[in-house]
Each structure stands twice: as C-alpha cells, then as structure tokens.
Structure 1
C-alpha cells in the first residue's frame, strides 16, 4: 500500500501551526517503509493555498499539529486524510510512529463515506 504523507515543517521538525510552516516534508511510504522524503517550499501563504499545494503534490495524508477547519475541509474535498495533534518531532519519527499505530493524535478527519455506504450524517425530517 502506497501513501504520501505531508508534514508541515518549522526547521526540521513538525510545525505546530499548519498555516505558518516554512516548508512541507512529503514522505513516501510503501509496504510500511519510508521510501523517499522530499522537502518542498510552499507557495506564499493565503487562505487555501497550502491544502491545494499539498494535494497537488500527491499527498494521501497530512499529519499536523493544529489546523483551521477551512483547511481540513479543503483537504477532505481533495480526498486527503487529516491527522491532527501530532507532537513536534522529525518527519521520519512521525511517519514511523504513524505506520506502527503509535502516533498520539487528538483528531483525525478521514473520509470513510467515500464509497457511499449510506451510513453517516444523514438526517431525515
């Protein structure tokens, strides 16, 4: 299974504030192993630029400290899973812990309704 996990960076560790990060690490994972790590500078920050930039670079998942609801919804619209509340660590440690299921997260926003199984948030009045 291939994933491309994007992590906002400040220096070489996770930036606690997604919108203020200096760069993004894109970590390619195949069969639960890191195969490649690319650091890219994002475009100038404006509302919505970072999620679009990350999605355009092929990310399947984002691991971040904190993120505004607008960014989360832009990622979800692009079919990118969002995991928040990650500690300030290096991208390699974050991804290895994530793969191993050991990463402590406060929230994750995964779109499990993509197949349209009909359960979810449907209220009939």
Structure 2
C-alpha cells in the first residue's frame, strides 16, 4: 500500500473545505491529508504554522510530520530547495479548497513548482 501525506497551506479550519492560502510561509496552518492508494482520504489533520524568521521553519515542520507532497500556489526558491532536500515533492496547485487541491493532485493536474510557481524572495513573494 502506498500511503502519502500531502500538505496544503490553509487560512481556515474546515477540513476538506478549508480555504487554500495564497502565501505558503504566512499561512495560518497546513492541512495534512493522508491519502491511500486509489485516492481515498483516510485522515485530515490541521497543523498550525510555526512563528519563523527563516524560510526553513514551515518546511521543517512539514518534514517532522512525515509530509511527502506539498501542494501550494507558489513559494520562494529557498523553501522549495529545502523541501526538495528533505524529500518533499513540491507541486503547484491553483485550487481554492483542500478538496479541489486533492482532486487536482489525484487527477495528475498538479505540476512541478518550477513550472511557474517559484517567486523571487523579498518582494512580497510567497515564501
């Protein structure tokens, strides 16, 4: 069985209907979804984002919670590289809710973040 843990930055706590945050590093929390083979969601948990002064904080938090995949609308190069080094795949998703993001992921619509999702840090970027 191939279980995956998928993190999605969110601004609300409504389970699968949580609103996806447009700002990875400054989101309220991360919805972490356990997804089984065949796309069955077996668990949705909310992990509060940590106060941080570096881009590594949120990425390390996700790694500590066993996240395999991060779905986000954008992020800075530094957290992207850190995620890759920690074995977390980072994919771009334009979904509005966690459910929509998961559907896009399971249908193969989420693309590598390098394809238009990386922001230039320090200028109001997603990091």
User: Which category of TM-score, normalised to the shorter sequence, fits these structures?
Assistant: 0.7 to 0.9
Q: Of residues 17, 32, 45 in structure 1, which corresponds to 2:23? A: 17
Contact 1:8 1:23 in 2 (8 A): yes
Q: Which runs of 4+ in 1 moved over 6 A?
A: none
Residues 46-101 of structure 1, C-alpha deviations (whole Å, 9 max, x = no match): 211000001110000000011000000110110000012x1242112211221122
RMSD, aligned CA: 1.4
Structure 1 unaligned blocks of 5 or more: 110-125
Tell me how many residue pairs correspond in the alignment. 106
Q: Is the 8 A contact 1:16 1:88 kept in 2?
A: no
Q: Is the deviation greater in 89-98 or in 35-44? A: 89-98
Q: State TM-score, norm by structure 1.
A: 0.78
Query: Aligned pair 1:40/2:47, yes or no?
Result: yes
Matches within 5 A, 1:1-125: 1-11=2-12, 12-31=18-37, 32-47=39-54, 48-84=56-92, 86-103=93-110, 105=111, 107-108=112-113
Point out the structure with max Rg over C-alpha.
1
Bigger proportion of residues as helix: 2
Flag structure 2 segments of 5+ consecutive residues without an equivalent: 13-17, 115-127
